[in-house]
Structure 1
Amino acid sequence: MYTRKLGKTGIDVSEIGFGAWAIGGDAWGPVDDAQSLRAMEAAAELGVNFIDTADVYGNGRSETLVAKLIEGRRDKLVVSTKGGLMGHHRDPRGEPVYGQPAKVIEAFENSLRRLGTDYIDVYFCHLWWDKTEETEAFMDAFAQLKRDGKVRAVGVSTENFDYIKHFNRDGGLDAVQLDYSILNRSVEREVLPYLQEQGIGAVVRGPLRMGMLTGKFQAATTFPEGDIRRNWPNEAWFAESLSKVEALKGLAHGERTLSQAALRFVLNHPAVSVAIPGAKTAEQAAQNVSASARPLLSEDDMRIIDQIQAG
């Protein structure tokens, strides 16, 4: 497993991480906690040191599982979690849920408790819409948490360029978690160049486009109850994406699978610090990790990708 620096933080991260959304069990169909823990342990044993979760994944279930993983190996793992996704709601008094720094810190402390640790390596604001009162509250809370030594780095999860620049107005943003894949390259225009210029680490979620780039989906694919992809087959973009994925299957050759090629694609970008594909099983985790050892994409590979995207 190769490692990279998380932007200007100096934190060494495995270029393939582990995205722990699916193991929360609230958005990707049924999961088994023992199997989920085996998947994370397999990833860690193969060199993954970056584990990403959030307080809303399974309403804390994911963080609780991550706590079991990091017990006894806390100093060997870089733990990333997020808070604030519920910020678009109002409390019973009509106030923003995270409208004050104290509320952000309360959410942070709850994550600490579930994770069973006394510090978090990277704490992200999970707000992904335009600037709000919560933005300022998070920025103030971030400064306090850093002063107190409870976080090593802070970031925001969004692709909104204006929002990223607003969060970084004083140069204090360490990382951005963003959606980037062969099928979704919009951040290449402005966001990724800005992150590289500013020394801000890019943490890539969705590098497999929620499973599309495994090449396993078909027009007749169905998803179980409770899976956020359940209605995908009824949407026009799904058929269009299937067509593109079919054309991309030429990237799989030798020992390299399509999903590994897709992971190599996002890692090709010099701004990217770590990609965080999800996994429910040890086998899936091992497949993801193996992408780190695969050769970089060739110029011919990139031409194929560009042509398919243009078409």
Structure 2
Amino acid sequence: MHYRQLGRTGIEVSEIGFGAWAIGGDAWGPVEDAASIRAMERALELGVNFIDTADVYGNGHSETLVAQVIKNRRDQIVVASKGGLMGHHRDPNQEPVYDRPEKIIAAFEESLRRLQTDYIDVYFDHIWWNNPRETEAFLTAFDRLKQEGRVRAVGVSTDDFEYVQHFNHGAALDVVQLDYSLLNRKAEQHILPYCLEQGIGVVVRGPLRMGMLTGKFTAGTEFPEGDVRHNWPREDWYQAQLGQVQQLSALTSQERSLGQLALRFVLNHPAVSVAIPGGKTPEQVEQNVEASARPLLEEEDIRQIEQVTPGA
């Protein structure tokens, strides 16, 4: 496993982390808690030191599972969590819910309770729309939490460049979590260059496009009820991206699977600190972690990627 600095925070993170959304059990199809714990344990055995969760994943269940894995080695693990969406599924044009710092701090303390810890290394605003009242409330709450030593770094999970700029007023932003992959290169246009320039750490969610870039889906794939991907096969973009995945498969070899190619691609960008693919089983984790040891992308790889998925 290779390690990188998380922007200017001074926190060292494994370049492959563990994304703990799926283990919440309410958005990615069936998952067993015992398998989820084994998957996280295997990740840590292989050198992963960054786990990303959120209060809304499984309505807190993901955080409770993470707690079981970190409890005897808390100082060895960089734990990231997010707040702001719990009970917040609504039209963002409505009145803000998290409009006071006290509400955000209360949600943070609930995450502490579930994680069974007294601090969170990286705490994200999970509201990706730019509502000024909520944004200012988060900024005030984050400042208090950092001064109290209960968070080491703060960030926002968004793909909105203007929101990133607003949140970073006064250099308040330590980390950005964003969607970036071979099939979604929009972040290359503005956010990634900005983060690199500002020394803001970047956590990449969706590096495998929610499983698409493992090559295991087909036109006939069916996702169960309750899976966030349930309606994908009926979408035009899904068929188009299946075609792109097939073309990208030509770049695989015995040394590098498609998923490992996808992870190496996002890690190739100099702004990126850590990629957080999910993993429900130890076998999936092993495949993800091995990407850290796979060959770096060469100019010919980039040239062929550009032909299939041009940069932003």
TM-score, normalisation: structure 1: 0.97
How far the C-alpha of 1:251 sits from its partner, in A, is 1.7
User: 1:244-278, CA deviations, whole angstroms, 9 ceiling, x for partnerless residues?
Assistant: 00000012112210000000000000000000000
Contact 2:96–2:131 (8 Å) recurs in 1 = no
Q: What CA distance in whole angstroms lies between the structure 2 residues aligned with 1:212 and 1:31?
A: 18
Q: What CA distance in whole angstroms lies between the structure 2 residues aligned with 1:158 and 1:96?
A: 17
> 1:230 maps to which residue?
230
- Number of residue pairs aligned between Structure 1 and Structure 2: 308
Q: Does 1:125 align with 2:154?
A: no
Compared CA separation, residues 310 and 2, structure 1 to 2 (3 A): closer
Q: Does 1:147 align with 2:147?
A: yes
Compared CA separation, residues 89 and 234, structure 1 to 2 (3 A): closer
SS at match of 1:9: coil
Q: What CA distance in whole angstroms lies between the structure 1 residues aligned with 2:301 and 2:215?
A: 17
> 1:97 maps to which residue?
97
How far the C-alpha of 1:132 sits from its partner, in A, is 3.2
> 1:257 maps to which residue?
257
Amino acid at match of 1:203: V
Q: What CA distance in whole angstroms lies between the structure 2 residues aligned with 1:175 and 1:221?
A: 35
Q: Could you list the runs of 5+ residues in structure 2 that have no partner in the other structure?
A: none
Amino acid at match of 2:240: E
> 2:291 maps to which residue?
291
User: 1:207-229, CA deviations, whole angstroms, 9 ceiling, x for partnerless residues?
Assistant: 00000000011000111121110
Q: What CA distance in whole angstroms lies between the structure 1 residues aligned with 2:213 and 2:12?
A: 27
Contact 1:223–1:230 (8 Å) recurs in 2 = yes
Q: Could you list the runs of 5+ residues in structure 1 that have no partner in the other structure?
A: none
Contact 1:89–1:97 (8 Å) recurs in 2 = no
Contact 1:224–1:230 (8 Å) recurs in 2 = yes
Q: What CA distance in whole angstroms lies between the structure 2 residues aligned with 1:310 and 1:79?
A: 34
> 1:279 maps to which residue?
279
How far the C-alpha of 1:309 sits from its partner, in A, is 1.5
Q: What CA distance in whole angstroms lies between the structure 1 residues aligned with 2:237 and 2:65?
A: 34
How far the C-alpha of 1:56 sits from its partner, in A, is 0.2
> 1:59 maps to which residue?
59
> 2:45 maps to which residue?
45
Q: What CA distance in whole angstroms lies between the structure 1 residues aligned with 2:243 and 2:204?
A: 24
Q: Does 1:191 align with 2:196?
A: no
Runs of 4+ in structure 1 off by over 6 angstroms are none
> 1:32 maps to which residue?
32
> 2:12 maps to which residue?
12
Q: What CA distance in whole angstroms lies between the structure 2 residues aligned with 1:39 and 1:184?
A: 27
Q: What CA distance in whole angstroms lies between the structure 1 residues aligned with 2:279 and 2:260?
A: 13
Contact 1:80–1:121 (8 Å) recurs in 2 = yes
Amino acid at match of 1:219: A
> 1:116 maps to which residue?
116
Q: What CA distance in whole angstroms lies between the structure 2 residues aligned with 1:296 and 1:126?
A: 32
Q: What CA distance in whole angstroms lies between the structure 2 residues aligned with 1:113 and 1:156?
A: 22
Compared CA separation, residues 215 and 148, structure 1 to 2 (3 A): same
TM-score, normalisation: structure 2: 0.97
Amino acid at match of 1:290: E
Q: What CA distance in whole angstroms lies between the structure 2 residues aligned with 1:89 and 1:140?
A: 23
How far the C-alpha of 1:129 sits from its partner, in A, is 1.1
SS at match of 1:211: helix
How far the C-alpha of 1:172 sits from its partner, in A, is 1.4
Q: What CA distance in whole angstroms lies between the structure 2 residues aligned with 1:89 and 1:100?
A: 18
Compared CA separation, residues 26 and 88, structure 1 to 2 (3 A): closer
Q: Does 1:218 align with 2:218?
A: yes
How far the C-alpha of 1:95 sits from its partner, in A, is 5.8
How far the C-alpha of 1:310 sits from its partner, in A, is 4.0
Contact 1:252–1:258 (8 Å) recurs in 2 = yes
